[in-house]
Each structure stands twice: as structure tokens, then as C-alpha cells.
A and B are shown apart, each in its own frame.
Chain A
Amino acid sequence: MLAGASQFVALPMLVSGASAFVIIATVFFVNIRHYLMAASLAPYFRATPRWARAVIAQSVSDLSYALAVARWREQAPSVAYFIGCATSINIAWIVTSALGAFFGGAVEHPERYGLDFAFPAVFIALLLPLVADRRNLAVALLSGVLAIAVAAIIPGQWYVIVAGIGGAILGALMEHRR
């Protein structure tokens, strides 16, 4: 299903014997960020047939999303680029999941090598090229602070939605006033 966060969440739940309904509901909430990604990607796909859009939508993920929007700031948006990113990510996901399943046990304490930091570090590397001017920086800072505050108060994934929309509104207001 190519949704890393939900796989990380679903596995321990499965082991501890949670019911299928609860697991599926949790997976839904972990993935609500896809709504925002899909909405902001969609306008680039106006020329694509409806059935193809429904297929392409399946590979919206943090990575394919971040790679595509970064590229499309510098070059004319192309549907082919998104499909290329998504396909590579899909293949890499399946191959490395299989490798992990067979050899993952060989690394006893991944955190000793800082490997758990790879995920946040990748996000920094993906976010940086998007922050091109002061307005972007303001949006990123507000979203980040808002996300930390909301995450501390409301459990679950709501901070992504609240801070994502909050930051986008700030950006739109700043652009409007200029």
C-alpha cells in the first residue's frame, strides 16, 4: 500500500492483537495528510484522463510529492516526472522492504548508528530547495511551530492538517497583500 507511516503504526498494533477495524481506522488518520498533498498536486494533472488520474493518485506519498513540487518550481511541470519518481519509489520500497525482512535482524540496535534520524534528515533535504524566499521561510517557520504546539496538545495526526493549512493561509495572505 506504500504508506510507510501507516505500516510502522499497523505492525505493533497487529502484534498486540488490535482488531482489524481499529487498525484500519488508525491507518486512515495516519494518512489524512494525503488529502492536502492530493489537492495541491491535482491542478498539474488537468490534461490527464480521469482513469489515469485515479491510478496516479495511488502513488502520492511524502517523497514523490516533495520531489515533484521541488522540480516543478524550476522546470515546466510534467506528469511524466511525477510518474517516474513514483515508479522508482515504488520499486525501491518493495525491494528494500524485502531486504529488510530478510536481513533487518542483522542490525540489532539501529538507533545506535543514528539510523532512525535518516527519516527526518531526508525531510530537511527535501524541504530546503522549496524555501526560496522570505515568504517561504515564514510559512515553513509558522507551520513548524504550529505543528509542534498542536502535536503537544492534540494527540494523533491532526497537527499535520492544522499546521499545513495554517501555514498555507499565511503564505496566501502574504502573497495577496504584496
Chain B
Amino acid sequence: MRFDMLVLILGMGLITSLTRVPFFLMFSRRELSPRTERLLRHVPVALLAAIVAPVFTMPGGLLLPPMEDPYLLGAAVTLLAARFTRNVIVLVSAGVLCVAVVRARWLPDARRQQPTHPDTTGLLDEGGTRSFSIMRL
């Protein structure tokens, strides 16, 4: 393994720890004010919704028209399946199957090929070219 790869991996690990450890130590130290407690109680729902919502309207980082966005239909099918079961494996399979069918049967050829990893980072430009300028962060 090259030395600079080692530095990179260690650096990424260190910076990731820096996002996890400080608040974990700070917010467990003493009693929090009722207001903070109330706020923290609602973070899980707010955060998970915030992480996933843009993935549905912008799969691959591109804003698609609703009728050409297989993710929206996949989400609808997953929610529908949730009325019958809470089994995660079943729900995920239903969504995945739906997206596969929609892509194969419905969408024009150009829309079938999408990035393998939904890019929610905003690092991909409109044309799918990557721009890594720090300014975009």
C-alpha cells in the first residue's frame, strides 16, 4: 500500500471521528435544559426525513419530472407495502422490484441509466461531471 493512501485513509477516519465524538461527549455530560431535551426528542424524525427526502425528487442529484422519476413510484409502493407489513426485507424488496420494473417497461431509454449510487452530496454537476472545487461545499 502506498504511503499517501495510508495518510488519506487515516485522515478520513480521523475527520469522521471528529463529526461523531465531540457532541456525543458534550451532550451526555450533564443535565440538559428542558428546551434542549425537547428539541433533541424530535431530531430523529426530522433528521431521517431530511436525509432521504431529496433522494426521491433528485435521484442521482438531478431534479426529474415526477412522471420520469422511478424513485417516487418506488417510494409510493414501499409505503403501500408498509400498510401490510413492517418487515424491512419485504418493504425494501417491494421498492427495489418496483423501480426495476418501471425502468424496464416505462421509461425512455435515456432515463434507464442512472448513477449506481444516488448522489446526495451535490458534488455531481448537471451533466454528471464531477466537480470537486471546495467552493461548492
Contacts and interface: CB of A to CB of B under 8 A. Distances in A.
Interface residues of A, number: 105
A41 interface: yes
Interface residues of B, number: 86
Contacts of B47: 33, 36-37, 40, 143, 160, 164, 167-168
B118 A119 contact: yes
B79 to A, nearest CB: 7
Contact of A168 (B46, B71, B101, B130): B46
A33 B24 contact: no
Nearest to A69: B44
Given A8-B119, A38-B21, A125-B92, 14 more contacts: A14-B8, A26-B132, A28-B19, A33-B51, A111-B115, A116-B59, A144-B52, A151-B58, A152-B58, A152-B63, A160-B51, A163-B46, A168-B42, A171-B39
Interface string B49-84: 111111111110001000000110011001100100
Interface in A88-134: 109-131
Contacts of A118: 92, 95-96
Interface of B: 4, 7-9, 11-13, 15-29, 32, 35, 37-59, 63, 70-71, 74-75, 78-79, 82, 86, 88, 91-92, 94-101, 103-104, 112-123, 130, 132, 134, 136-137
Interface of A: 1, 3, 5-6, 8-10, 12-14, 16, 18, 20, 22-46, 48, 50, 53-54, 56-58, 60, 62, 65-66, 69, 109-131, 136, 139-148, 151-152, 154-157, 159-160, 162-172, 175-176
Nearest to A176: B38
